[in-house]
A and B are shown apart, each in its own frame.
Chain A
Amino acid sequence: MTEAILSVTGLRSGYGRTVICDDISLQVSAGQITCIIGPNGAGKSTLLKTIAGVVPAIDGSIRVAGVQMAGLPAARVAGSGMAYVPQEANVFRALTTHENLAMGGWQDEGRTQAARDRVYDMFPDLKPLARVPAGNLSGGQRQMVAFGMALMLEPQVLLLDEPSAGLSPLMVGEMFETVRRVNAEGVAILMVEQNALQGLKTAHEGIVMAAGRIAMQGAASELLNSADVSELYLGSRI
């Protein structure tokens, strides 16, 4: 197993007094894709939000490349080597593609120009849309802008909350291809996916969450072949 870039230990979080995620421990290895699956309400999105600092951690530790992040607000977590792409409202609709990317590089303006060129190289389809407000883009294009914005500060790990949600079936395939391409650049990815089959097929590692806890974790291929996982989350595949 390669070195862990993101390490979560004994994490508990929730809203107010309601605990949503409890006793979560997981590791994301450098350069690997880890996919979290589970039923609705399992706490998958809350877990990702907690790691990103959007929902405060009640207890436990979150380390990115060894640096403690638990307890820091989202604005401080940004630029720490970890970038989060929310499921919804993940672009600034009133800002152009170009300006959205600039906001991605907010914490290090000096690198913006070079970083933007790199993002346009990675997503050439975005270049002609540079002056178009993100609110006028299609769902797939907006997802690319959201990815590009998150990649501006060259994170070591990317947190993706249901990247395929709301996309047409054709775009879903392209989106998972994009996830693989971003990963091929050396970025580790921790993603939550409702599309469990595609998510696990794309990932190296898999985590199954249920009722706010980790129910199972292991190699994605093992989970794909697990009778329990197939029956509960992969529908009528077997």
Chain B
Amino acid sequence: MNLQIFVNALVNAALIAPPAMAFSLLFGVLKFPNFAIGGYITLGAFAAYTFNVPLGLPLPLATLGAMLFTGFVVWLAHVWVFKPMQDQSAVTLLVVSIALTLILESVVRLFFSADVRGFDIPLERPWKFWGARITREQVEIIACAVVLATGLHVLLRHTRIGRAMRAVADNPMLAAIRGVDAAKITALTTVLCGAIFGLTGVFAGLDLVIEPLVGWNLTIPIFAAAILGGIGSPYGAILGALLLGLAEELTILVLPSTYKIAVGFVIIAIFLLLRPQGLFGTAEIKK
């Protein structure tokens, strides 16, 4: 087994872990699996592309702009689409979120066509070490993912707002009884998660390509990582992403790489059958 498999798995995990954490966080406060994340990620990638290529901003600034833009769009989607439907069942909201992803992708296609694009960054040779290769962008993606995961940990565990986010996710009624403005905390969570989806769009544009389906192709792996770690558990999502990344890379050893996308589905199926609460979730006993 060579080192390249682990490098690729790590890059995959770095790409999947932040949005899987955001997906889990969003599920915690909104209580439905939001499949619009594919559309949000695509939007983030194209927003960063617009800032970077036609407008000529350096990539770090374009990334910041894309994060703000996607955060705003996700908040808007919450206020205009999901909040008015909050009394509907989770399945209804899931279907609505799939529709929203299709709408967002179509809008992107309308303005940018289905052409494959890339950021305006200099081409560099990959670094080589012990027979493995890694690009500068991939190292940056891993570093950003580590910083982001650490930042989210500090936010959730050691700040007043983070504690309120966890409290609202855990028991929104009790949070209101204790004086927390649950609507405000939910809105803040959507903006934060939106910014993370925007950043994922940039990562995907760096590691893969920028095209209207870029977000949709990441949706199943993100969902699989979140389920693997225990949906609603942002920390579980990190481990879920690492295991998924490794599983995808190991599959390539025995199967053609076109089957890689199936790994997410298989993991979802296995976990929903055998351990629906995931690795970190707690089993609920219905009385």
Contact = CB atoms under 8 A, between A and B. Distances in A.
B178 A149 contact: yes
Contacts of A76: 179
A75 B163 contact: no
A86 B10 CA distance: 46
B181 A75 contact: yes
A93 B169 CA distance: 10
Contacts of A135: 282
A104 interface: yes
B220 to A, nearest CB: 27
Contacts of B167: 92, 95, 99, 103
Given A92-B170, A95-B166, 11 more contacts: A73-B176, A76-B179, A78-B179, A79-B179, A84-B177, A91-B171, A103-B180, A106-B179, A109-B160, A135-B282, A149-B178
Interface residues of A, number: 26
A102 B182 CA distance: 16
5 contacts: A78-B179, A92-B167, A92-B170, A95-B167, A109-B160
Contacts of B173: 54, 74, 86, 89
Contact of A93 (B164, B170, B178, B181): B170
Interface residues of B, number: 19
Nearest to A112: B160
Interface string A63-98: 000000000011110110000101001111111000
Interface in A45-67: 52, 54
A87 to B, nearest CB: 12
B176 A75 contact: yes
A107 interface: yes
Contact of A52 (B160, B177, B181): B177
A84 B174 CA distance: 9
Nearest to B28: A94
Given A94-B166, A102-B163, A109-B160, A89 B171 contact: yes
Interface of B: 160, 163-164, 166-167, 169-171, 173-182, 282
Contacts of B179: 75-76, 78-79, 106-107
Contact of B182 (A75, A79, A93, A95): A75
8 interchain residue pairs of minimum CB distance? A78-B179, A107-B179, A92-B170, A94-B170, A74-B176, A75-B176, A74-B177, A92-B167
Given A102-B163, A135-B282, A86 B174 contact: yes
Given A103-B167, A106-B164, A91 B181 contact: no
B177 A78 contact: yes
Contact of A106 (B166, B170, B171, B178): B178
Nearest to B184: A75
Contacts of A54: 173, 176-177
B172 to A, nearest CB: 10
Contacts of A89: 171, 173-174
A169 to B, nearest CB: 19
A107 B181 CA distance: 10
B161 to A, nearest CB: 11
B178 A86 contact: no
A95 B163 contact: yes
B163 A78 contact: no
Interface string A111-146: 000000000000000000000000100000000000
Contacts of B282: 135
B169 A78 contact: no
Nearest to B179: A78
